[in-house]
Structure 1
Amino acid sequence: MPARPVIVLAVLATAVTAAVCLCRRHRRLAAALCAEQAARRLTDAAHHRDVTALEAEFALRLGRVVAGTHVLAAADQVVDDAYRSYRPYPEGGHPQ
């Protein structure tokens, strides 16, 4: 009968050791998960900042292009009007 308490103590010691190891592993995994979540939040914030800056830059450049297009359209209209009113030769005439 003396062997039985030793076996019980060995099983209890093994169970306590396993519980301590599992608890430490759980803490390490929880810390790693917390770090991953923080990194994800930082990445999302940086992505949002970059996309916002890109949209602002795109809107600025698009505005410049549209303004340039309006200027070119107005200049084209002026040239077309001037060309229509310019008649170097009489109607149906040819240079001599």
Structure 2
Amino acid sequence: MVQCETSTSSIFPQELDPISSAIPVSMANKRQHMEHALILYLGKYDYSKCKNKCAHGGAVVMVNDGKLCKCLCAANYGGIDCNVLVPNLASSGCL
């Protein structure tokens, strides 16, 4: 019998390095600028500032230069908060 691995923690390391680590240490000034830009970006597009919640596994995303919160809905769902069931076009033969 074949057993499936349900967790990737034993296969892949879970800790990611920041993107600034791709810049060589010899370019410390550029690395600092990259880290500062990342902090500014994360502050501007921090979805925890959004008050609305998305249903059915939808994800809150910030758009319009960080001024508007929207839901990125899971497959077969739509609407402002992902509460609208959308017919599966693939199963209806429309695709």
**Normalized against structure 2, the TM-score is what?**
0.27
- Bigger fraction of residues in helix: 1
- Bigger fraction of residues in strand: 2
Larger Rg: 1
**Normalized against structure 1, the TM-score is what?**
0.26
